Structures are given as structure tokens and as C-alpha cells.
A and B are shown apart, each in its own frame.
Chain A
Amino acid sequence: MILATYDLWAFVSENREELLDGLLNTLKVSAFAIAGAFVIGLALGAARAHRIPVVSQLTAIYVEVIRNTPILVQIFFIFYALPQLGIVFDQFTVAWLSVMIWGGAFNSENFRAGFQAVAYRYREAGYALGFAPFSTFVNVTLPIGGRIALPSSINTYISVLKNTSLMYVIGYAELTTTSLNISNLTLQTTESLTMLAIVYLTLVWSLSALIRLLESRLALPESR
């Protein structure tokens, strides 16, 4: 009965515009959040690797809180609890902000590990050439450690993209919410979920292909 009425194409074509809007919102939220997670990860990872006072302790607390609480709770906290304190964001902002904060925490660990893996002797060579500490970071630690951190940070970006589907719980119309809302009305649940699986697979594969291309061009020569 269900199989007899299964029509994936009809589901997609009849709801084309809404689904496309949902997809665009997913991409927008992901792009904001990944860019933010990159910046947060880089800055806080560097602060922790270099044990910069205060910043590095605060980062440690941030990472512990985010890593040890469910992301769903974090989203709810930003969406429902912060307004009680007078901090109100619209759904779009909650969407990218929550996954960015989540991704930034994990990414700061990726970069911390990458920077710490840079042997001190390379930094020392930088100092000996006359680079000041910050220039040594920019010209030595960052290019070497950033490359070491790349594979693990790719995984974080992929998780950020997938986690945007959790915005279903706050009703933000990204792809998952849009698709499930349609099928709740039309009962095309199987079509809806199949479509979601196919689109997310395609998105994640494209994203990882893109970053792996970047990675192969950036990788440290000896590991190419």
C-alpha cells in the first residue's frame, strides 16, 4: 500500500520551491556557522596552545561545557532560556549561532592539538631568524599546525552541517524542518526522509570533497 503510492519525484516537484528555500537556509546557516567555527577554533586553539592567560582558561571552560552537554540542550538554552534573561535572537540567528558555538568548541580543540604538535624547534628557528612571537605564530606555527589540524577540523565542519537539521526543534525552516512539515500534512513520510537522506549525503560528500581537495593541496609535503 505504502510502496504502491511511493513517489519521490512527485514529492520533490510538487514542493520544489519550499524545499529549495529550505535547502538554501541550510546552506546559509552552515556557511555562517562553519566560517564562525573556523575563526573561533583558530583563535581559541592558538590561545590554548600558547597558554595565553585568562583566554586559555575561559576557553577550557567553554570547551568543557559544550563538549559535555547535548547540543539539543544548547539550542534550547539559546532559544528558550536566554530570552528570559532579556537576550532574544530570531530563529535564523539561533540556528547559526548555536551550531557555530558548538563547532567552535570542537574546532578549538582541533587547532590546539595541531598547534601543539608543531615541534618547538621550528618555532625556535623562527625566533632565531628574528621573527617576533606573533610573526612566528603567523609564519611558522600556523602554516604547519593548521595543516596538521585540517583533517580533524573537516570532521567538525561536516558535523556542523549535519547538526543544522536539529533546528527542527525550534521550527526554523531549514531543509529538514521544511521537508518534515510538508510530509506531516501530506503523509509522504517515506519520500520526505528519502529525499533528506539523499540531499544530506550529497551535501556532505560535496563538502568533504571540496575540503579534501584543499587538504591535498595544502598537506605537508612529506605526507602527500
Chain B
Amino acid sequence: MTASEAATVRTANGEDGDGTNGAGPVVRVEGLRKSFGTNLVLDGVDVTVAAGEVLVIIGRSGSGKSTLLRCINLLEPIDEGRILLEGDEITRKGVDVSRVRQRIGMVFQQFNLFPHLTAIDNVTLAARKIRKLSREQAEQRARELLKTVGLEEKADQHPHQLSGGQQQRVAIARALMMEPHVMLFDEVTSALDPELVGEVLIVMRDLARIGMTMLVVTHEMQFAREVGDRLVFMDEGRIVEEGAPADVLDNPSDERTRRFLRRTLQLPESLEELTVNEEGVEE
């Protein structure tokens, strides 16, 4: 991404006029608890993300990482605790949920592009309908965004004509179109063929470089190490370890983190030597 392209991705960090941003954190989660039925998914999570910071969240499946992102975007009601966005408590009663979500961009594992719309219409839809931008204004801006994700040529294609990696990049452009103050990435490369993962991670890296505030749930440890400013490891609904990515990845202090990283990172010499039990790979 060149400097001029970077300028087309407008974030409100430091340039919004409402004065709520200031120097405080963009996202602040306090004592968040959430269960689905009897299943406690988040067990008292506290996390803070500063403006321009990239927070990477790792952990086993079922550890609550995706639920944490979904709670921040108010897609799941919370049971206890509170969430603040730029100082406003967004989990209080009577909050305009749709308006809050306009300040938060979210990218999903399954892309979720609207199948009946072309790439550019996917990008412009919300801006036209919610922000009431004219089609012309919206498309001009959408083309700039599609260019920054390397897809200006694909503007008129429908999602099914695009590869998974291309769809995910359109989905990122779609989220950026609303000029979010923070971006949530929920395992955005997990549904992709291995050779398509890189193109999405590069777009995310460029986004981080121009100062976007990001919460990234991922299994891509190289991305976590190189792009993340801070890394948290979640297990059974709690944050059990937190720190600079390289520190956590290279010198995990918690046994659960060590076990997770061992299973994730260190491939054995040969698969033949391994057995499984109900926990997964036997150690």
C-alpha cells in the first residue's frame, strides 16, 4: 500500500471531531461474562485496546475468542460486565446498537458477502443506505478501497466468481467503507485454502501499518508475531497470558499457553508417532 492509497483508508482515529476519542482506549472490556445456556464461554474478561494498536487473540477453539469479538460488536448480549467504545459504555440499556456498529468494522470467517450483489455493490450498500451517499460518491470511494485491497479489476464480479481470498478482501473493503474506528477480524483466514491466506494477511498488515485499531482472532502465528502489538492467549473463557507477541510465543509463562503453542507450532518429526485421545493429540 502506498502512502496515497493509505490515505484513502480513512479512520476516525485522531481525526474525529466529537472529542470522545482523546487519548483513552478505543475498546475497553471490563469483567465480561457470557454463557450459552449452562456453558460458560467468557469468564470475566478484561481487555483494553489503544488507538492504533493491533491486539492478537489466540487460543483453542471454544476458548471464547470469537464470542469476545461478537460481544464487542453487540452481536451477542452479555451477561455481566461492560464494554466501552471510545469511552462510551455501549452495553448499557437504551444504546442505539446499529449506530454503535457503524463505528466498528467486522470481518467474518465465512466472508458473508451478499450473494446477489457485485463486489462494488457489496462495498457501497451500507454507505448508500445508511450514510445516504449518492451511488456516484459511494462508488468512487469504493473503487479506491477495492484498489487498496488489490481488486479494482473485480469490482463488477459477483462473490461466487471470486476466490475465497478475493471475497475476504472485498469483505474487508466493505467494512472499511463505513470508516470504522476499530476493526474486528474473526478467524478471517481459517476458511481459506492455504495459498490464499497470504493475500488477506498482507491487506491486514497494511491496514495495521496505517494505524487502524484492530482486534484479530487468528491461528496465524507469524502474523501475530510480525503485525501484532500485543498478544493475549485465551483458555476456557479467560485471558491466561498477555504480552508482546514475541515474548508470549517464545517464552510462554503459563502451562496452558505452552501446551497450546506446542500443539500449534511444533510439528512432530512424523505423524506416525502420534496417537489421539479425546483431548486431541496425546502428549
Contact = CB atoms under 8 A, between A and B. Distances in A.
A183 B105 CA distance: 70
Contact of A127 (B101, B159, B161): B101
Interface of B: 73, 75, 98-99, 101-102, 104-106, 108, 110, 112-116, 125-126, 129-130, 158-161, 171, 174-175, 178
Interface stretch (A11-19, A91-99, A140-148, A174-182): A140-148
From B106, B112, B160, B175, residue with most partner A Cβ within 10 Å? B112
Contacts of B175: 128-129
A220 interface: yes
Nearest to A221: B158
Contacts of A220: 115-116
Contact of A129 (B115, B158, B174): B174
A126 to B, nearest CB: 8
Contacts of A139: 125, 129
A131 B125 CA distance: 10
A222 B160 contact: yes
Contacts of B108: 121, 124-125, 128
From B113, B125, B159, B161, residue with most partner A Cβ within 10 Å? B125
A216 interface: no
Given A130-B99, A130-B102, A125 B112 contact: yes
Contact of B75 (A122, A128, A135): A128
A215 to B, nearest CB: 13
A130 B103 CA distance: 8
Interface string A132-160: 10010001100110010000000000000
Contacts of B178: 129-130
Given A130-B98, A139-B125, 11 more contacts: A121-B110, A122-B112, A128-B101, A128-B108, A129-B126, A129-B174, A130-B101, A130-B130, A131-B98, A131-B129, A144-B116
B142 to A, nearest CB: 13
Given A128-B73, A128-B75, A128-B106, A135 B129 contact: yes
Contacts of A147: 116
Nearest to B113: A125
